[in-house]
Chains A and B, each alone.
Chain A
């Protein structure tokens, strides 16, 4: 059966098996933290959210269906849902280009040891966004980076929902294509 190991793992997580929870953390915590850090204004909030997300993963573990999605997709979906809910509850939205802003204002203890390399990577990402057509860039910024729904963005930009959806799909595709070409060679 496809995804048998992942399904078995999640069934064990659902039963509260310690080793299974540890494996789940070891496999996905970095990704979960990255998306949390991306959406939340501070590192400490991101860390707190990771804790809550893994609680949520345990609570929903028995609903995982490997036919519908790979486990990593499921985990990231649960993570994003939690984070968007959190943003809505707090009525906050991350600032665009917040990585560099946050680092310039955060205490030295919170800064990553490889800051120059990280900052360079983010400059590339932000530059890549700037290279997109304006609508695609705006839609990606507002949905993917700030957590607005497509409907909200459609209303904000006074554009048809179908247009917004197409812009997001195409924009994400171009971001990935551009990233691949940047890293070749």
Chain B
């Protein structure tokens, strides 16, 4: 479990409750909202429940809302609009809809409601058809939806390693085709609402690792993120391996981990410029 941020940066329960209204109405600035969310998840369960209750009451308080009622025909229009968008999204990925259970829904004459949303499940199923590229599966599990769409489409059209190299970076091919034991480590945020993701591919034989990072929260331009490895039962031995900037695009790095003892047991972290652990 990721240890909480420094106590001086955490909000106490009283402050969390004071700011509950601002949080509910999305009036906290980005940085404060992140601190609020982290503090919320480390608050006692009773405080979390109190905040959830306060916020639900606030957003539904009739005194704070106008009294207009939606017209009766709005339901039909909205559902038609949403279903149309869902169907359009599904047809864009139509080739993938043949993977797994198929069939038509006779009731409405439309395609069955497969997971036409590009969910992780669909991408994983697609990658199994690619022999010898197990790492592609790992990449897809960390890519954004948009990226996963592109890579999976390429995969189904017999993506070459050259294409992967172009997309991920020139070092990827060199790393992937080097001999050596490779294991992967997924790094995830503590908060499931966070979209930050990272995966490490570690070649223990040559002491190199390949890191792919996506969806880190955007801090100011030029802000640096730090990749670290934490050793020891108490986590008291930290080795900072690399600093990088994240500009909103996929980031891939090759790291020298030859000097890291017992790499297989090491714990990895990426921290933001404020020192908070973003993924671990």
Contacts and interface: CB of A to CB of B under 8 A. Distances in A.
B61 A176 contact: yes
Interface string B1-45: 000000000000000001101101111110000000100110000
A112 B65 contact: no
A15 B63 contact: no
Contacts of A46: 68
A128 interface: yes
B78 interface: yes
Interface in B179-198: 191-193, 195
A51 interface: yes
Contacts of A22: 79
Contact of B66 (A17, A34, A50, A72): A34
A33 to B, nearest CB: 4
B75 interface: yes
Q: Which of B41, B62, B82 has the most CB of A within 10 A?
A: B82
A29 B74 contact: yes
Contacts of B125: none
Interface string A34-66: 110110000100110011001100100011010
A172 B54 CA distance: 12
A33 B70 contact: yes
Interface in A63-110: 63, 65, 67-70, 72-73, 76-77, 80-81, 84, 99
A46 B21 CA distance: 24
Contact of B193 (A38, A68, A151): A68
Contacts, number: 158
A50 B69 CA distance: 12
A10 interface: no
B25 A176 contact: no
Interface string B201-243: 0000000000000000000000000000000000000000000
A51 B52 contact: no
A51 B81 contact: yes
B77 A16 contact: no
A172 B64 contact: yes
Contacts of A179: 61-63
B25 A51 contact: no
B22 A47 contact: no
A68 B40 contact: yes
Given A31-B65, A63-B195, A122-B66, 6 more contacts: A16-B113, A37-B68, A47-B70, A72-B59, A77-B59, A117-B67
Interface of A: 14-18, 21-22, 25-26, 29-31, 33-35, 37-38, 43, 46-47, 50-51, 54-55, 58, 62-63, 65, 67-70, 72-73, 76-77, 80-81, 84, 99, 112, 117-118, 121-122, 125, 128, 143-144, 149-151, 165, 168-169, 172-173, 175-176, 178-179
16 contacts: A16-B89, A16-B117, A33-B70, A47-B77, A63-B193, A63-B195, A68-B41, A68-B193, A69-B52, A70-B56, A81-B26, A121-B67, A144-B25, A168-B21, A168-B27, A176-B61
The 5 closest A-B pairs by CB, nearest first: A179-B63, A33-B70, A76-B59, A16-B86, A70-B56
